[in-house]
Structure 1
């Protein structure tokens, strides 16, 4: 279960060390509560960390704020916060035990750019984010509905999906004003990322 980022010239040593520390915390907590499937523990770097880091490359370089809806174990929110310390990251997660893990991980890693919010996205205070992500949370239509008031026309939506990605995007294009495109996942041939911007509301 070697860190594939270790020794990479594209990843600062401190970032790699923090990601490794986060993986350690994640795997330890996974023995107490189901954060990731046990069957994926041995592939945690590819199946979870690399799967999340690919989102960072799709986000605008100038992004200053990032909302991760249904953050669960902090995927991708914690990975974003570690890799982009200049970005203010909000982890939105309603389940108490997962929130306790997230806050403990934030404290252990001394991440100053993270806020953990124990609530549904619908209960978040009104503010707008440069990037909104959600991994394995809800349908694309439902995500757009719950996050619209937290976005602007310039907000980038980065929403990893499985085999339903193309179908969900096609429905969104019929129902929503905005620009949508699919980006193939680098970690799974069956998955894709729905990338959207210019989302202003439902059609009709």
Structure 2
């Protein structure tokens, strides 16, 4: 399997601190089903970090929808401190964890929004991410509303990525680049730009 993305020593230390905090909270409020630290590193942290090379250049704002326990948005915010990050999570307990992690890790460039996506006000985004949240058609509707005209959407998808794309193309036009997952055989990361409703 391809090695995980290399990060700086400071980022690595913050990721270690995140994992320790995550394990404490996960024992209390069940952020994810996994409890083994090595599994968490591979299945969630490394899986999130593999999006780093696909981020657009610059410092335009980014948002992660349905962040849950921090994946991928909080992990990316730890590694990418050049831009403001917005994490949208409607579950109050998970949002409380995200706020605690942001404070403990000193992530002053990160804002947690404890709202439903449709009730969240965000600036025009350079980047939008979402992992295991919703079918592509629904994600594209959020992206069309939230992204700036040259914004980028990054959506990790499983083995049904092509079927979701086919279904979405009935309602949407877009430019799609596909990248094989480094952590999940058969999975695909969709990097999507130029998102518009299809039709006249």
The CA distance in 2 between the partners of 1:18 and 1:149, in whole Å, is: 33
Distance 1:11-1:38 versus aligned 2 partners, 3 A rule:
closer
- Of stretches 52-61 and 34-43 in structure 1, the one that deviates more from structure 2 is 34-43
Determine whether 1:187 maps to 2:183.
yes
Q: 2:45 maps to what in 1?
A: 49
Match of 1:174 among 164, 170, 175: 170
Distance 1:181-1:174 versus aligned 2 partners, 3 A rule:
farther
Gaps of 5+ in 1: none
Aligned residue pair count: 198
Q: Which has the higher contact order (CA 8 A, sep 6+)?
A: 2
Match of 1:109 among 83, 105, 110: 105
> CA deviation digits over 1:69-100, x for unaligned, max 9?
00001111111111011111000000000011
The CA distance in 2 between the partners of 1:56 and 1:118, in whole Å, is: 25
Q: Structure 1: which 4+ aligned runs deviate by more than 6 Å?
A: none
The CA deviation at 1:172 is: 2.0
- Of stretches 59-68 and 128-137 in structure 1, the one that deviates more from structure 2 is 59-68
Gaps of 5+ in 2: none
TM-score by length of 1: 0.90
Q: 1:31 maps to what in 2?
A: 27
Determine if contact 2:25/2:31 at 8 Å carries over to the other structure: yes
Q: Secondary structure at the match of 1:197?
A: strand
- Of stretches 56-65 and 20-29 in structure 1, the one that deviates more from structure 2 is 56-65
> CA deviation digits over 1:115-155, x for unaligned, max 9?
00001111111521100000110000011113321112311
TM-score by length of 2: 0.92
Q: 2:151 maps to what in 1?
A: 155
Map of 1:1-204 to 2, 5 A cutoff? 10-38=6-34, 41-203=37-199
